[in-house]
Amino acid sequence: MHTEFGYRWKIGKNPIVSGVRIESDVNAPGFLGYSDAGELLVEADTPVDIVIFGHGLEDVEMVAFTDSVCVTSEFNISESSFHIHKDMKIVFKYSFIAWPRPWRICLKSESHGLNQIDDDRTWIQAVEKIHETYMPVWAQSAILCLLFSISALCSGLTLGLMALTPQELKILMKSGTPSEQKYASAIYPMRIHGNRLLCTVIIMNVIVNTGITLLFDDMAEGLIAFVASTVGIVIFGEILPQSICVKYGLAVGANTVFITRFFMFILFPITWPLGKILDKYAGVDIDVVNRSRMVEMLKMNMENNEACDIDLSTLKIAIGAMELTKKSVRDVMTDIDDVFMLSEDQVLNAETMTRVSDSGYTRIPVYEGNNRNKVKNLLYVSDLALIGKDNNITVKAVARFNKRRLRIVDENMPLTALMDEFKMGDYHLAMVAKALDVKKHHNGKFVDDKMDNFILKSMKLVEATVLPAVDASEDHPVTLVGLITLEDITEELLQAEITDETDCYITDDAQKKRRTNTSKKSVAEMYCSEKKSDRLSLHMLEMTEKWLLEKTPLFSEMNPKAFENLIQQNIREVLIVPPKNSTSPGTLNLFEAGVMSKRFVLILEGKATIKFNEKDLVFDCGPWTCFGEAILEKMEQCVRDGREPSTGFFFLPDYTLTVSGPCRFLQISTSSLLHSLRITQFVKEIRTPKISITNDDVTGTNSRKVSIMDNSPTGSRKRSSTSVMSTLALPTARLAAKIASVEELKPLME
């Protein structure tokens, strides 16, 4: 672009240039200096003030710059752009583009035209901006890496050194792992000067971060330097080191302790007075762990038990022990509505004893009449050891005879105080009454429970614990709200329910409700079972014999006395006691589907229910219904074949026979039936004088066959038309081992 502005001479003199000066604002880029040839060096594309000195300059109309001759000038500055235009000085502002050759000045006036200034000291060389740094780039990069490392170390040490208090370091020194003990021992001497150490780390971190910012600003400009320094400090100086030192701060602090000591030494003049000021006004590190804080720490360990090397049960015990002191009896007691109690008027029959057994408790409060609030005594299960269920003795008689102590405590009584009482061993159960209702007789006077607790903690503790039971007369009524035992306190201490082999129902003190039955079998099965019954009457015996003789011929050849004993000695009965808290009666299974059985059963009195599971059929069975006929059939078949029956005979019923009420039945097992048959055979052998013995040689071995001929009179018993043959092939040699003594046979031989 070639633009020329004419210069109008006012005086007509030829303008003379004596010098050129480049000016720029203070601390602003622009003038760079002089070249070796004396040329003016300016920064390209940077506005600068150009001052031209000389004579006759007031007639100059235009100043132009060219790299060759004035005819081809590239840039022209007209008179209107001059800031100062005098005879000896022209000042104007201009910026030069970078060019390989220097720019030369051309002055134009109206009378003389363009006049080129050839003095090379007036030439201006525009060069690219050269940014000078504090030091070479590689050196600055190395220093930046070092500063970032120190910044990361200072940030990490803030957590690694300051996260643990001196008390916690002492704990690690004594109870930590070998590595933790080593690290804590290295850190502890510095950590006791907590405020001075904190000032050292923070000041060093600030100095390093400031140095990082300055170096980035020197290497870059403006927004780039700001973003680079901020991102670098945040990521590499804060986030990464602190995330590492959260888990490994102890190891980092111990392994860099020499660096920390060096920082503390060089910053001693600053950090020592600051630390003293903070020690005075902010205080030193004193960390006292109270009970509540320790309990919460233990609870947090329970929640994260996988990362804790302490057993869960041990943690629960520790928490229970710590919380025990702030709990009262009201927090642990069993609510009065859930307490199992007996009335004085109840009779200790089978039903009552079953309820006691089902409860699972060994100490049972006894109340007067129907008022559960008037507890008079305690009944121990051991008191019932010699009491028969058929004696109909009342609870009142047993309780008054044993005179067990009854302790009544206030619901606000501290749990630890009551545990001290229980540890004396005189009683381990107490009734809980409403606040201000509990009074206790001491030295002939009634005193409040507060005084009572004071007495128990005084030197008269032994005397207090052997005082008589609480006087619960009408003159001093109490309102019972619950019951507490030593087991309740122990459960609270262990933070777990204690269940022994007698527990059927457990009271969960924390939830204040009774749990469901935890036993697989009810204790009522003591009474809900079959047992041996009384002998049958003569009439009933005759009917039973007649029924059996008609049922199978196996009993026809049996000795009358042996037959009678077989019946009378195997009469059984079932006693049913309803389960606790159940309206439905208890049941007992005589046969179960798919379960092996070795007995024959004939119902004599009562009824039973038979259920076929496969067909889902249910029938009621009354008297003179029999089950297990397969046993008799197998026995009869063995006798017919001349083989000795076995006691291992059994059958698998495809039904379930259940008794839900009083029932009396005849049970004939394979062993008792075989025993009666052998006795019959032995008696016949004694009464028969003729014995024939024949030897048969079969398969190369000798076998002896003993045939006992029955010559005794038939007797008065009518035999069935399907009677078995009169000769029973039962080996005589085996009978001797089955008969205990001859005395056993005397009743049969008479």
What's the CA gap between 182 and 744, in Å, rounded? 88
Torsions phi, psi for 581 (to 5 deg): 55, 35
Q: Picking from 18-27, 221-230, 588-597, 617-626, which range would have the lowest pLDDT averaged per residue?
A: 18-27
**pLDDT band per the 50, 70, 90 thresholds, residue 29:** confident
What's the CA gap between 263 and 203, in Å, rounded? 10
pLDDT score recorded for residue 521: 47
Residue 43 is part of a domain; what is its CATH number? 2.60.40
For residues 167 and 432, which has the higher predicted lDDT (pLDDT)? 432
pLDDT score recorded for residue 738: 45
pLDDT score recorded for residue 130: 64
Residue 512 is part of a domain; what is its CATH number? 3.10.580
For the chain, what percent of residues have pLDDT higher than 70?
A: 74
**Statement to judge: residues 490 and 595 lie in one domain:** no
pLDDT score recorded for residue 499: 65
**Statement to judge: residues 21 and 67 lie in one domain:** yes
Q: Picking from 456-460, 682-686, 700-704, which range would have the lowest pLDDT averaged per residue?
A: 456-460
Q: Is residue 233 part of a domain?
A: yes
**Statement to judge: residues 633 and 713 lie in one domain:** yes
Residue 83, exposed/middle/buried by CB under 10 A (0-12, 13-18, 19+)?
Answer: exposed
- The H-assigned helical ranges of 39-177 are 137-162, 166-175
Cα Rg of the chain (Å, integer)? 58
**Statement to judge: residues 223 and 346 lie in one domain:** no
**Statement to judge: residues 270 and 210 lie in one domain:** yes
What's the CA gap between 493 and 323, in Å, rounded? 8
Which residues are CB-neighbours of 297 under 8 A, at least 6 positions away? 289
Q: Picking from 132-141, 556-565, 627-636, which range would have the lowest pLDDT averaged per residue?
A: 132-141
- The H-assigned helical ranges of 220-311 are 222-234, 240-255, 257-266, 268-281, 291-303
Residue 609's CB is within 10 A of a number of other CB atoms, namely 15
Average confidence (pLDDT) over 236-255: 87
How many CA atoms does the CB half-sphere of 340 hold within 13 Å? 22
- The H-assigned helical ranges of 625-669 are 629-640
Give which of 615, 735, 622 is closest to 675, Cα–Cα: 735
Average confidence (pLDDT) over 213-219: 85
Which residues are CB-neighbours of 368 under 8 A, at least 6 positions away? 343, 344, 374, 375, 376
Q: Is residue 369 part of a domain?
A: no
pLDDT score recorded for residue 341: 92
The answer to whether the CB of 428 falls within 8 A of the CB of 469 is: no
| pLDDT of 471 strictly over 90 | no
Q: Is residue 265 part of a domain?
A: yes
The answer to whether the CB of 354 falls within 8 A of the CB of 527 is: yes
Mean pLDDT of the chain: 76
Length in residues, the chain: 750
Average confidence (pLDDT) over 195-214: 90
What's the CA gap between 155 and 143, in Å, rounded? 18
Alpha-carbon distances of 130 from 23, 41, 44, 141, rounded to whole Å: 18, 12, 10, 19
- Please give the angle made by the CA atoms of 277, 281 and 282, to the nearest 5 degrees: 100
pLDDT score recorded for residue 749: 44
The answer to whether the CB of 186 falls within 8 A of the CB of 257 is: yes
pLDDT score recorded for residue 245: 85
**Statement to judge: residues 618 and 497 lie in one domain:** no
| pLDDT of 61 strictly over 70 | yes
Residue that finishes a domain, picked among 103, 127, 151: 127
Residue 688 token pair: 């028969």
pLDDT score recorded for residue 723: 37
For the chain, what percent of residues have pLDDT higher than 90?
A: 7
**pLDDT band per the 50, 70, 90 thresholds, residue 718:** very low
Secondary structure class of 319 (helix, strand, coil): helix
Q: Is residue 596 part of a domain?
A: yes
The answer to whether the CB of 533 falls within 8 A of the CB of 664 is: yes
| pLDDT of 483 strictly over 90 | yes
**Statement to judge: residues 666 and 534 lie in one domain:** yes
**Statement to judge: residues 173 and 251 lie in one domain:** yes
| pLDDT of 519 strictly over 80 | no
Q: Is residue 168 part of a domain?
A: yes
In this predicted model, what pLDDT tens digit does every residue of 661-685 receive, in sequence order? 888 999 998 888 888 888 888 888 7
**pLDDT band per the 50, 70, 90 thresholds, residue 543:** very high
Secondary structure class of 726 (helix, strand, coil): coil
| pLDDT of 77 strictly over 90 | no
Give which of 680, 672, 472 is closest to 567, Cα–Cα: 672
Q: Is residue 370 part of a domain?
A: no
Q: Picking from 286-290, 405-409, 633-637, 708-712, which range would have the lowest pLDDT averaged per residue?
A: 708-712
Q: Picking from 309-318, 526-535, 739-748, which range would have the lowest pLDDT averaged per residue?
A: 739-748
Q: Picking from 38-42, 222-226, 644-648, 705-709, which range would have the lowest pLDDT averaged per residue?
A: 705-709
Q: Is residue 598 part of a domain?
A: yes
pLDDT score recorded for residue 304: 66
Q: Is residue 566 part of a domain?
A: yes
DSSP result, 428-442: SEEEEE-TTT-EEEE
**Statement to judge: residues 705 and 581 lie in one domain:** yes
pLDDT score recorded for residue 743: 52
**CA of residue 308 relative to chain centroid, distance:** 12
* Total tally of structural domains belonging to the chain: 5
What's the CA gap between 739 and 677, in Å, rounded? 12
Average confidence (pLDDT) over 168-184: 86
Domain assignment of residue 334, given as a range: 329-354+402-523
**pLDDT band per the 50, 70, 90 thresholds, residue 350:** confident
Residue that finishes a domain, picked among 523, 549, 579: 523
Residue 453 token pair: 């607790």
Alpha-carbon distances of 146 from 133, 208, 219, 228, 258, rounded to whole Å: 18, 9, 16, 16, 17
**Statement to judge: residues 548 and 659 lie in one domain:** yes
Contacts of range 708-712, beta carbons closer than 8 Å, 24 or more positions apart: 708/681, 708/684, 708/732, 710/684, 711/687, 712/684, 712/687, 712/688
Torsions phi, psi for 177 (to 5 deg): -70, 165
pLDDT score recorded for residue 306: 60
What's the CA gap between 169 and 160, in Å, rounded? 12
Q: Picking from 116-125, 560-569, 604-613, 667-676, which range would have the lowest pLDDT averaged per residue?
A: 116-125
| pLDDT of 3 strictly over 50 | no
**Statement to judge: residues 111 and 143 lie in one domain:** no
Average confidence (pLDDT) over 458-485: 55
In this predicted model, what pLDDT tens digit does every residue of 294-305 receive, in sequence order? 777 777 766 666
Residue that finishes a domain, picked among 84, 101, 127: 127
pLDDT score recorded for residue 582: 56
In this predicted model, what pLDDT tens digit does every residue of 88-100 receive, in sequence order? 888 888 888 888 8
**Statement to judge: residues 320 and 333 lie in one domain:** no
In this predicted model, what pLDDT tens digit does every residue of 134-145 receive, in sequence order? 778 888 889 889
Residue with tokens 């109490």: 478
Q: Picking from 147-161, 646-660, 720-734, which range would have the lowest pLDDT averaged per residue?
A: 720-734
**CA of residue 205 relative to chain centroid, distance:** 43
